[in-house]
Structure 1
Amino acid sequence: PKEISSRMTSDTALIEQVVGTTVSVALRNLLMAIGGTIYLFYLVPGLTVGLVLIIPAIVVPITYFGRRLR
């Protein structure tokens, strides 16, 4: 029983560390993407609108067909 408790405590601490790090990195990347898009829109609005419309139009079909192929 003591060994199981020790392992559970260790595993829980490891999961907390991994999840905390992952959430932190994901949040930082999301904020950088939003900030970068806003800054790009400030610099070149026409190009930014084009990118915001064209990139999803390319990524969505690729994702759809990639899943169907699998």
Structure 2
Amino acid sequence: MDTAKLELAAQRYREAVEALEGARLDLRAEAVAALSQDGVQPDDQAEVARITGWSRADLLALLEEAPGGPRR
């Protein structure tokens, strides 16, 4: 049995999962940073929601999980 293509596909999959997880962590960190700045307005929250595709509830949950606790 020739498994070279299977091994290649499995490796590409593992690399894609790692890249996706890295991007997810980066996006979460950048969203928290944007929402944690002094003077953040509701329009700023709406812009972060638009860019990320996350709801306001998602953003509030993200802030709750962030080190340092909730910031609204």
TM-score (norm 1): 0.59
Larger relative contact order (Cα-Cα within 8 Å, sequence gap ≥ 6)? 2
Superposition misfits of 4+ residues, deviation over 3 angstroms: 53-56
Distance 1:12 1:54, change over 3 A: closer
Task: State the distance in 1 between where 2:26 and 2:44 align.
Answer: 15
Q: Is the 8 A contact 1:37 1:48 kept in 2?
A: no
Which residue does the alignment assign to 1:27?
21
Greater helix share, 1 or 2? Answer: 1
Task: State the distance in 2 between where 1:53 and 1:37 align.
Answer: 9
- State the 1:52 CA deviation: 2.7
User: Bigger radius of gyration, 1 or 2?
Assistant: 1
- State the 1:43 CA deviation: 1.1
Q: Is the 8 A contact 1:41 1:49 kept in 2?
A: yes
- State the 1:25 CA deviation: 0.6
Tell me how large the CA RMSD over aligned residues is: 1.9
- State the 1:50 CA deviation: 2.8
Size of the aligned set, in residue pairs, is 50
Extract unaligned runs of 5+ from structure 2.
Answer: 54-72
